Amino acid sequence: MSSTPIVTMYSTTWCGYCRRLKRQLEEAGISYEEIDLDRDGSYDDRIIEKTGGYRTVPTVEVGGELLVNPSLREIEAALVSA
């Protein structure tokens, strides 16, 4: 039996795109862990490296792969291939 890949969303409370994506994930039944980058900056370096110098939110991690400002479809595809 394979386990579902863990989905982690790196976000902030003030980000409208983050709120929209969280709602879409919940409506799609995709569970996720959320990390508020304003409270925990220990993930900033990975995100900044991936984006070429920006702390872009939302950034979502699926199976170790970082997706910057992804759509729900991109997350669903990453879950299938993870």
Give residue limits of the domains in the chain.
7-81
pLDDT class for 73, splitting at 50, 70, 90? very high
Looking at residue 82, what is its pLDDT? Answer: 83
Residue 2 has pLDDT above 90, yes or no: no
pTM of the predicted protein model = 0.90
**pLDDT at site 4:** 67
Distances (CA, A) of 45 to 12, 22, 48, 76: 16, 23, 5, 25
Q: Does domain 7-81 have CATH number 3.40.30.10?
A: yes
Residue of 65, 70, 66, 76 whose CA lies nearest to 17: 70
In the prediction, which pLDDT does 3 show?
61
pLDDT digits 0-9 by tens, 9-19: 999 999 999 99
